[in-house]
Amino acid sequence: MTGDPTAVTDVQAAAARLAAAMDPGGSSALAAVQAARALSTAATAALQASVDRARVAGRSWKEIGDVLDTTRQAAFQRFGRPVDPRTGQPMNRTILPGAEDRAVEIFGHVAAGQWEAAGADFSERMREAVDANRLAAGWAQTSGLIGEFEQMGAPVARSDGEHTIVDVPLYFEAGDANGQVSFDRDGNVIGLFIRPSSQ
């Protein structure tokens, strides 16, 4: 991290704010949530800087994926800086603001059986392809395979060209699943998937 002093400073400052907010005599619980969110944002930037540094040092995507306990493809998709072969220019890496929270909210609606609310931000094409009945059937099929839904894990957003994709771990009583929401640049939902994990 010595190559990116800004990332180090941001993490230290955010961690200090969180520690102060978590103190029993400190500020409100919401202030602690806000400070934790700031630390998460700073840590994400620091992780990107660390991966960039590892790549400059000649480390492979497989090595980085191993450290992150993921595949080399997943590591590249999240942290890589792909170049468009048509133009030679870096591809768009912008992530839709708030995408992670929105994905969690959508799966929260699905888990609660609130099908209309889950599809409220669907694009017109998605509405034509996936209605409330199809959402309900897909959730029922997943529950039939791996049991009752228990909780969600931490969402991870990544850029895929002009789209933002958010992966959300879903934990059930007899197995896990991978939830995924795709957003277009305008914030419309253009994809929603729930796939049981292979393990």
Any domain includes 134: yes
My answer on whether 111 and 182 are in the same domain is yes
Q: What CATH number is attached to the domain comprising 123?
A: 3.10.450.590
My answer on whether 71 and 103 are in the same domain is no
Residue 91 DSSP one-character state: P
Q: How many domains does the chain have?
A: 2
Domain encompassing residue 22: 5-79
122-151 pLDDT tens trace: 999 999 999 999 999 999 999 999 999 999
The residue with greater pLDDT, 109 or 32, is 109
Any domain includes 84: no
My answer on whether 121 and 191 are in the same domain is yes
What percent of the chain shows pLDDT beyond 90? 52
36-89 pLDDT tens trace: 888 888 888 888 889 999 999 999 999 999 999 888 888 887 888 777 788 877
Question: What Cα–Cα distance (Å) separates residue 87 from each residue in 83, 95, 107, 158, 159?
Answer: 8, 21, 37, 22, 18
Tell me whether strands 163-172 and 175-183 are parallel, antiparallel or unpaired.
antiparallel
The contacts found for 3-8 with CB under 8 angstroms, 24 or more apart, are 3/49, 3/53, 3/56, 4/46, 4/49, 4/53, 7/42, 7/45, 7/46, 7/49, 8/46
My answer on whether 163 and 116 are in the same domain is yes
Contact 184, 133 (CB under 8 A): no
Q: State how far the Cα of 104 lies from the Cα of 171, in Å rounded to an integer.
A: 13
Model confidence pTM above 0.95? no
| Nearest alpha-carbon partner for 114 in 106, 104, 122 | 106
pLDDT for residue 16 is more than 50:
yes
User: What residues contact 134, with CB distance under 8 A and at least 6 apart?
Assistant: none
My answer on whether 70 and 134 are in the same domain is no
Predicted confidence band of residue 2 (pLDDT cuts 50, 70, 90): very low
How many CA atoms are closer than 13 Å to the CA of 143, on its beta-carbon side? 14
Average pLDDT, whole number, for the chain?
A: 87
Note the pLDDT of residue 89. 73
CA pseudo-torsion sign 101, 107, 113, 114: positive
Q: Decide: helix, strand or coil at residue 57.
A: coil
The residue with greater pLDDT, 81 or 179, is 179
My answer on whether 173 and 145 are in the same domain is yes
